[in-house]
Amino acid sequence: MSGAAAGLLVLTGVCILILLAVVGAYNKLVTLRNRFKNAFAQIDVQLKRRYDLIPNLVETAKGYMGHERATLEAVIQARNQAVSAGKAAAQNPADGGAMAGLVGAEGVLSGALGRLFALSEAYPDLKANQNMMQLTEELTSTENRISFARQAYNDAVTIYNTAREVFPTVIIAGMFNFASAVLFEVADSTQKEAPKVSFS
Amino acid sequence: MDFFARQEKTRRNTAVLLVYFFAAVVGTAALVYVVFQLALFLLLGQASSNHPSSVQFVWWQPSWFLLTFSATMMVVGISSMAKIIDLRRGGGSGVAELMGGRQIQPDTSDFYERRLLNIVEEMAIAAGMTVPPVYVLIGEKGINAFAAGYTVRDAVVAVTNGAMTGLTRDELQGVVAHEFSHIFNGDMRLNIHLMGNLYGLLVLTLIGRGILRAKVRGKGAVYVYMIGGALLAVGSIGLLFGKLIKSAISRQREFLADASAVQFTRNPAGLAGALKKIGGVAYGSQLSTAQAEAASHMFFSNGLRSSLFATHPPLAERIRWLEPSFNGKFERITQEKLCQALPVNEVAPQDASSSDIYTRSINVAAAGAALQPTPRSPSPAGPSNPDKLMATIGAPLQGHVQAASQLIESIPAELKAQARDPYAARAVICLLLLDNDESVRTNQLKILRGQADPAVFAEFSKILPLRDSIPFEAKLPLLELTIPALKQLSRSQYLSFLADLLALIEADRRVSVFEYALERVLMNRIDPLFGGNKNKMRTAGHYAFCGVENEISWVLSAFARLNSDPEAAFKKAAASVPDTRAKFALQPEAECGWKELDAALDKLSGASFYIKKWVLAAALVCLMHDREITIEEVELFRAIADSLDCPVPPWLAATSLNK
């Protein structure tokens, strides 16, 4: 074989190797992205559970604190907002905007719920209600599960973001539009809102 | 042909596939040379029209031939290999995600998803394999399904949205049984190789298409486009070769899978019903994803419109095999009629808004989605004949499905709900590990309270009272149910959970058989996901008994020690192994530790299926020697079979509760 032909072959070989490296990096990013999308699905299951419990909670509370309409309505509104934000995020967990929207809506919901619970402190009958106790128990349990799933999701997101930012994978990430993923941080409602107790 | 022989056979078939593939590549490479020469001819023709001197065109030029031939071979060969490696590494989940699948969460409350998961759980426990992750192809309206993965261990089942919502429970069960049969027949390994090899042939089309899309300027542009077009043309010939290969190999496998599915469910009407629906619905079994071509051989039914080189036998033929009275006419089924097709006893759950809405909706969905009583068939062979039992490995019967569904029923509903939730599944495992002995139990509780995650301990305390309501034969199935949930843990969560587990196991300073079995199953199934030794299963390094004599001796000794007469049992078991040159020795009692057994099993997991078969058969002989099967022996057998990646149906019932 002539020198030129041999040279051409070597060139082809080198090109193939580079191509393979690119494909390998691309596949790795896809795998990691799928992994955090899947981790989000677990959060979604738990969030749905929470959203299903809230209407019942509000109904029970209405029986005892009917005139606290503002607070109750705030909870329902926040819940509906969160439901639609949740749906948007579930469509595409890799979309930073949708995820940020969900995190925001969840924060609002947690705040509203926190105010509701703080208010219910003043209604001992409500607190002693069987249904209410079960619901509160279920909600707490769901909160635990959400934070657990959140932890797993954030782990997966961190791994993805790190892999994405490393050189030379960062070039491929740029080429194929692998956006940075958003962590799911929810403010702890119990810490934020100091209960407003009025003695009037 | 039993499970082991079938797995061996597909390993050989993979070699046959390679021969076909090589022939196809040679053909394609030759065609590339012809195209190249054609391009040159046209080029020279154009050039010589400017210079009147006629140059005799030489068609056969060895150096150019060698060049183009080797270039094509290299491109196709390397991309095939790369694709196969990529597919193997991704495992079943990789393929499912490639097709656009989304994994169903184990603790879902959606009626259809829950129903599908229940079906898969029942069948997995009936077959004795771990519950595979289930994916749903959301955007697909057609009715189709596939199973992917390289080994039984990393198998995955995927179902289209159309199938999940449009089929009745029986029909869905038939489809899932068909896919499981593919897993047992070892088709998945073949399919992965097929997919990878064909990708190499497809790559030429991709390159051609890429060249055509590229915007090239200048005088040479026409020729570049010509080359691109030519590559596309050649590539499509390669594609044709590929389709030929696929249809040659996969058609009779589909019939085989149908046959095995009927054996599994004893309900040909279910499978036939699904096939009829495919024939009657507008979308049929078509898939809209771009990847459908690459994986068309893996699906339940033909995913593409053309049936020129069909990967599946014609629908009518398949239905007629199941239901000889079929008249060949498909009744048109509209989309609305499909959704109303659910029978009365499969009512969707009411929107219960109550305190235990979660458990209630799960229970209603579960009740509606639970197994409908099918006509009883004679129960599978009792524990008297080792050969009959060996024959059911990888070939579960309908009786096993019944037994599995009963086992699942016997577990308290709340425990099942907890087991499917990653957060609480950890507590369920801790519950299973609680010892019977009072003093050890208090010690374990102390350890849990002190060392474990407080959340785990809280959940654990809630389910503690349920401990005594778990029937002893349901303990291992309950473990099986937790595995999909545990796979959802993140790495750090898993590691801390593992630490708690090990502390619990070591609480009484000894490892019981159940604890060993539990640890072994977890290590096999979950550890590889979090960085454990993944490749232990991959290479079959041992084909002769001589290489693994020691390891087999360890395994048989472990069983012999559980027997009332160790020496006699061991002798009988060793005699049953067909290789007379191999020498097995009963290991001394003092050295019979779990670590040695671990090492032995790790080595044996790389042995050929032939060896694995005889190891299990010998173990069974040893087990049954004293005519009394203890629960410990059952658990140990389960642990061994799991490590060797052999699915063992739950037929082995303990005849005594002695510990």
Single-letter amino acid code for the residue at B218? G
What is chain A's Cα-based Rg?
A: 25
Which among B294, B338, B17 has a CA at the least distance from the CA of B146? B294
pLDDT the model gives residue B659 = 36
**Residue of chain B whose Cα is closest to the Cα of A42:** B105
Chain B: closest CA distance from residue A192 (Å): 22
Percent of chain B exceeding pLDDT 90 equals 9
User: Is there a contact between B203 and B8 (Cβ–Cβ < 8 Å)?
Assistant: no
d(CA B421, CA B403): 24
User: What are the residue boundaries of the structural domains of chain A, listed by start?
Assistant: 3-191
- Contact (CB<8Å) B107/A45: yes
- What is the interface size between A and B, counted as CB pairs within 8 Å? 94
B518 has pLDDT over 60: yes
**Residue of chain B whose Cα is closest to the Cα of A48:** B109
Q: DSSP readout, B107-163?
A: T---HHHHHHHHHHHHHHHHHTSPPPPEEEETT--S--EEEE-SSSTT-EEEEEHHH
Alpha carbon B322 to chain centroid, angstroms: 25
B382 has pLDDT over 60: no
Average pLDDT estimate for B606-614: 86
pLDDT the model gives residue B338 = 65
pLDDT the model gives residue A126 = 84
Question: B618-638 burial by CB neighbour count: b if 16+ within 10 A, else e?
Answer: bbbbbbbbeeebbbbbbbbbb
Residues of B with a Cβ under 8 Å from any A Cβ are 63, 66-67, 70-71, 74-75, 78-79, 82, 86, 90, 93-94, 97, 102-103, 105, 107-109, 353-358, 421-424, 455, 488-493
User: Which residues, in sequence order, are CB contacts of B145 under 8 Å at separation 6+?
Assistant: B157, B158, B159, B160, B163, B175, B176, B178, B179, B299, B300
pLDDT the model gives residue B351 = 32
Pick among B99, B203, B490 to test the A interface (most A CBs inside 10 A): B490
Cα-based distances in Å from B327 to B183, B319, B323, B334: 31, 10, 10, 20
Please write the tens of the pLDDT for every residue from B551-568.
888 888 888 888 888 888
Phi-psi category of residue B283: left, alpha or beta, with phi > 0 → left and psi -120 to 50 → alpha: alpha
d(CA B399, CA B403): 6
What's the token pair of residue B463? 């389910």
Angle between helix axes B594-604 and B609-623 (nearest 10 degrees) is: 140
User: Is there a contact between B285 and B303 (Cβ–Cβ < 8 Å)?
Assistant: yes
Chain B: closest CA distance from residue A20 (Å): 8
Better-scored residue on pLDDT, B256 or B353: B256
pLDDT the model gives residue B353 = 33
Which among B571, B578, B575, B542 has a CA at the least distance from the CA of B557? B571
- Contact (CB<8Å) A41/B492: no
Single-letter amino acid code for the residue at B466? L
Phi-psi category of residue B134: left, alpha or beta, with phi > 0 → left and psi -120 to 50 → alpha: beta
Confidence of residue B164 (pLDDT cuts 50, 70, 90): very high
Residue in the block written with tokens 């989309």? B335
Pick among A29, A33, A43, A45 to test the B interface (most B CBs inside 10 A): A45
d(CA B533, CA B519): 15
Pick among B355, B360, B421, B496 to test the A interface (most A CBs inside 10 A): B355
- Contact (CB<8Å) B356/A138: yes
Confidence of residue B347 (pLDDT cuts 50, 70, 90): very low
Chain B: closest CA distance from residue A139 (Å): 10
Interface of A with B in 71-100 (CB under 8 A): none
d(CA A75, CA B648): 52
Please write the tens of the pLDDT for every residue from B96-117.
888 888 999 998 888 899 999 9
pLDDT the model gives residue B308 = 61
**Is residue B376 classed exposed, middle or buried when 0-12, 13-18 and 19+ CB atoms within 10 A define those classes?**
exposed
Which among B353, B377, B349 has a CA at the least distance from the CA of B364? B349
Pick among A34, A46, A139 to test the B interface (most B CBs inside 10 A): A34
B355 has pLDDT over 70: no
pLDDT the model gives residue B654 = 56
User: Is there a contact between A108 and A82 (Cβ–Cβ < 8 Å)?
Assistant: yes
User: Strands, E, within B42-174: which ranges?
Assistant: 101-103, 134-137, 145-148, 156-160
- Structure letter (DSSP) for residue B290: G
- Contact (CB<8Å) B422/A151: no
Helix (H, G, I), strand (E, B) or coil at B82: helix
- CB of A155 within 8 Å of any CB in chain B? yes
Chain B: closest CA distance from residue A38 (Å): 7
Q: Which fold has domain A3-191?
A: de novo design (two linked rop proteins) (1.20.1440)
Phi-psi category of residue B128: left, alpha or beta, with phi > 0 → left and psi -120 to 50 → alpha: left
d(CA B97, CA B106): 17
What's the token pair of residue A197? 């107790």
User: Is there a contact between A102 and A88 (Cβ–Cβ < 8 Å)?
Assistant: yes
Better-scored residue on pLDDT, A45 or B656: A45
Helix (H, G, I), strand (E, B) or coil at B571: helix
User: Minimum mean pLDDT among B46-55, B158-167, B209-218, B253-262: which range?
Assistant: B46-55
Pick among B36, B105, B110 to test the A interface (most A CBs inside 10 A): B105
Mean pLDDT over all residues of chain B? 79
Chain A: closest CA distance from residue B353 (Å): 6
Instruction: Give B-chain residues touching A41 at CB under 8 angstroms.
Output: 102-103, 105
Which among B604, B504, B515, B592 has a CA at the least distance from the CA of B552? B604
- Contact (CB<8Å) A52/B353: yes
Residue B16: CB atoms within 10 Å: 12
- Contact (CB<8Å) B422/A34: no
**Is residue B280 classed exposed, middle or buried when 0-12, 13-18 and 19+ CB atoms within 10 A define those classes?**
middle
User: Is there a contact between B226 and B39 (Cβ–Cβ < 8 Å)?
Assistant: yes
Alpha carbon B383 to chain centroid, angstroms: 28
Backbone angles phi, psi at B542, to 5 degrees: -115, 120
- CB of A158 within 8 Å of any CB in chain B? no
- Contact (CB<8Å) A56/B353: yes
* ipTM tops 0.85: no
**Residue of chain B whose Cα is closest to the Cα of A11:** B71
- Contact (CB<8Å) A1/B422: no
pLDDT the model gives residue A86 = 92
- Residue in A16, A24, A152 closest to B78 by CB: A16
pLDDT the model gives residue B55 = 56
Instruction: Give A-chain residues touching B62 at CB under 8 angstroms.
Output: none
User: Which residues, in sequence order, are CB contacts of B15 under 8 Å at separation 6+?
Assistant: none
Q: Which residues of B are part of the catalytic machinery?
A: 179
pLDDT the model gives residue B306 = 54
Residue in the block written with tokens 């029923």? B409
Confidence of residue B428 (pLDDT cuts 50, 70, 90): very high
Which among B127, B213, B154, B607 has a CA at the least distance from the CA of B407? B127
pLDDT the model gives residue B578 = 81
Confidence of residue B157 (pLDDT cuts 50, 70, 90): very high
Chain B: closest CA distance from residue A131 (Å): 6
Chain B: closest CA distance from residue A200 (Å): 33
pLDDT the model gives residue B49 = 63
- Contact (CB<8Å) A9/B423: no
pLDDT the model gives residue B52 = 52
- Contact (CB<8Å) A9/B421: no
pLDDT the model gives residue B371 = 41
d(CA B149, CA A24): 19
- Structure letter (DSSP) for residue B102: E
d(CA B543, CA B361): 52
What's the token pair of residue B478? 């309950």
User: Which residues, in sequence order, are CB contacts of B126 under 8 Å at separation 6+?
Assistant: B264, B396, B400, B401, B403, B404, B405, B649, B650
pLDDT the model gives residue B339 = 61
User: Is there a contact between B596 and B554 (Cβ–Cβ < 8 Å)?
Assistant: yes
- Residue in A38, A138, A155 closest to B491 by CB: A155
User: Which residues, in sequence order, are CB contacts of B351 under 8 Å at separation 6+?
Assistant: none
- Residue in A5, A56, A145 closest to B423 by CB: A145
Confidence of residue B476 (pLDDT cuts 50, 70, 90): confident
The C-alpha angle with vertex B335 and arms to B333 and B338, in degrees rounded to 5, equals 70
Average pLDDT estimate for B323-352: 61
Confidence of residue B51 (pLDDT cuts 50, 70, 90): low
**Residue of chain A whose Cα is closest to the Cα of B494:** A152
- Contact (CB<8Å) A34/B97: yes
Confidence of residue B234 (pLDDT cuts 50, 70, 90): confident
- Contact (CB<8Å) A56/B354: yes
Q: In what order do the strands lie in the sheet with B156-160?
A: B101-103, B134-137, B156-160, B145-148
d(CA A114, CA A97): 26
Instruction: Give A-chain residues touching B102 at CB under 8 angstroms.
Output: 38, 41
**Residue of chain A whose Cα is closest to the Cα of B354:** A56
pLDDT the model gives residue B658 = 40
What's the token pair of residue B19? 């021969």
Please write the tens of the pLDDT for every residue from B361-372.
444 444 444 444
- Contact (CB<8Å) A156/B490: yes
Residue B375: CB atoms within 10 Å: 7
Q: Which regions of chain A are under pLDDT 70?
A: 1-2, 187-200
pLDDT the model gives residue B502 = 87
**Residue of chain B whose Cα is closest to the Cα of A55:** B353
**Is residue A128 classed exposed, middle or buried when 0-12, 13-18 and 19+ CB atoms within 10 A define those classes?**
exposed
d(CA A19, CA A3): 24
**Residue of chain B whose Cα is closest to the Cα of A148:** B423
- CB of A127 within 8 Å of any CB in chain B? no
d(CA A176, CA A81): 32
- Residue in B105, B358, B455 closest to A144 by CB: B455
Q: How many residues does chain B have?
A: 659
d(CA A120, CA A61): 8
User: Is there a contact between B565 and B626 (Cβ–Cβ < 8 Å)?
Assistant: yes
User: Which residues, in sequence order, are CB contacts of A71 under 8 Å at separation 6+?
Assistant: A65, A112, A115, A116, A119
